[in-house]
């Protein structure tokens, strides 16, 4: 959504980023939304001036897009406890949390960090796609992931057209170097980014100019790279980390040109390192959100032995993996008339042999 930063030099004024040329707006919704220009800034004298139809349409457009982004991230996640609507709240945290954490990592090893990174990547059904640790890894991993997207191969997509407008789309090495230059230019021209670094204004140019050279990645300016590149490319970026308390860090621009996020890996050991990611093809179709490892009916759980067997509800739905997989496990009825669940192995054996197993007379098969 359009961000309001109370950073104007003039009292009682609000500076709006990513707003529009008010003279070009009219009552047509398409014209209003298409007339928005990221390079234009409007300074208004009173907050009440924001309460108009143009602002409302802009907010609705951006909130609809944000919802689409969050829903796609939610689909990408394999973690049943994952809540995509926590992502906007996570963005309110410090931009430096990708590289800085409160936990003590002094006793950790490279192996520990790699194991944690692999674990966190697996929650998105991803694996590491290695990128050289030459100081260009952050920029390179972003470029590599952008070029893997479906939109990149569509010459008419908003993503491809925007990247071409930024003069990207050449070789990977050329794009990596050019993205560096765009990053430096953006930080030097944006007071908000400069405020995030905490670097004195007098030292800002010298610090950022160091980033124009290849293989350079150091200092507080480096903590801004992912956020600034996300804003520049207008692409949601999810950084999956090796930090125990921070499995991932989201960066979602206000005016994204795509609702599909790219994922990069970050190893927080030593100087830190970014990698690309790739889909774990072996696990495609296996989503832990829809496939339970243990039957919800209580199968193989002694404490819940009196629960009903694998069945569907009145609407034909079930959370039981046996039902989802087409395996209907027979329920054994004891002398009291209580149904209990037999071992899963019997059900699997029945399917494997493709023949019904012989159960006692008091067995009822549920379908």
Domain locations along the chain: 87-282
Please report, for the chain, how many H helices and E strands are present, in that order: 12, 11
Rounded to two decimals, what is the model's pTM?
A: 0.65
Per-residue confidence (pLDDT) for residue 14, from 0 to 100? 37
The residues pairing with 5 across neighbouring beta strands, listed in sequence order, are 15
Asked whether the beta carbons of 2 and 16 are under 8 A apart, the reply is: yes
The whole-number pLDDT of residue 318 equals 60
Element (H, E) at 274: strand 273-279
The pair of structure tokens assigned to 80 is 């049943």
| CA distance linking residue 276 with residue 263, whole number of Å | 7
- CATH fold of 87-282: Cathepsin B; Chain A (3.90.70)
Alpha-carbon gap, residue 175 to 264, rounded angstroms:
17
Per-residue pLDDT of the chain (367 residues; tens, 9 = 90+): 333 333 334 433 333 333 333 334 444 444 444 444 444 556 667 777 777 888 888 888 888 999 999 999 999 998 888 888 888 888 776 554 444 444 555 556 778 889 999 999 999 999 999 999 888 999 999 999 999 999 999 999 999 999 999 999 999 999 999 999 999 999 989 888 888 877 887 788 888 888 888 777 776 777 889 999 999 999 999 999 999 888 999 999 989 999 999 999 999 888 889 999 999 876 655 554 544 444 444 444 444 444 444 555 655 666 555 555 444 444 544 555 555 444 444 454 444 455 554 444 444 444 3
């Amino acid at each position: 959504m359009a961000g309001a930063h109370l950073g104007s030099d003039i009292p009682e004024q609000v500076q709006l980023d990513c707003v529009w040329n008010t003279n070009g707006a009219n009552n047509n919704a398409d014209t209003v939304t298409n007339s928005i220009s990221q390079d234009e800034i409007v300074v208004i004298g009173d907050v009440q001036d924001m309460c108009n139809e143009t602002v409302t349409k802009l907010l609705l457009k951006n909130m609809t897009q944000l919802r689409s982004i969050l829903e796609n991230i939610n689909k990408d996640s394999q973690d049943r406890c994952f809540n995509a609507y926590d992502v906007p709240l996570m963005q309110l945290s410090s931009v430096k949390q990708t590289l800085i954490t409160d936990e003590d990592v002094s006793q950790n090893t490279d192996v520990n960090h790699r194991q944690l990174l692999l674990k966190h990547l697996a929650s998105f059904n991803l694996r590491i796609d290695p990128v050289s640790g030459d100081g260009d890894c952050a920029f390179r991993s972003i470029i590599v992931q952008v070029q893997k997207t479906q939109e990149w191969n569509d010459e008419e997509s908003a993503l491809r057209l925007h990247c071409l407008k930024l003069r990207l789309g050449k070789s990977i090495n050329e794009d990596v170097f050019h993205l560096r230059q765009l990053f430096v230019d953006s930080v030097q021209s944006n007071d908000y980014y400069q405020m995030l670094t905490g670097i004195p204004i007098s030292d800002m140019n010298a610090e950022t100019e160091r980033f124009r050279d290849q293989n350079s990645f150091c200092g507080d300016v480096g903590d801004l790279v992912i956020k600034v590149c996300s804003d520049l490319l207008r692409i949601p970026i999810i950084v999956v980390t090796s930090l125990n308390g921070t499995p991932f860090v989201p960066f979602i621009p206000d005016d994204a040109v795509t609702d599909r996020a790219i994922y990069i890996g970050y190893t927080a050991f030593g100087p830190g390192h970014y990698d690309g990611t790739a889909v774990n093809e072996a696990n495609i179709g296996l989503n832990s959100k829809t496939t339970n490892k243990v039957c919800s009916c209580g199968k193989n759980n002694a404490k819940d032995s009196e629960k009903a067997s694998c069945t569907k509800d009145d609407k034909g739905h079930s959370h039981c993996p046996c039902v989802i997989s087409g395996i209907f496990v027979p329920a054994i009825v004891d002398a009291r008339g209580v149904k209990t669940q037999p071992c899963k192995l019997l059900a699997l054996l029945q399917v494997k042999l493709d023949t019904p197993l012989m159960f006692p007379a008091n067995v009822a098969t549920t379908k």
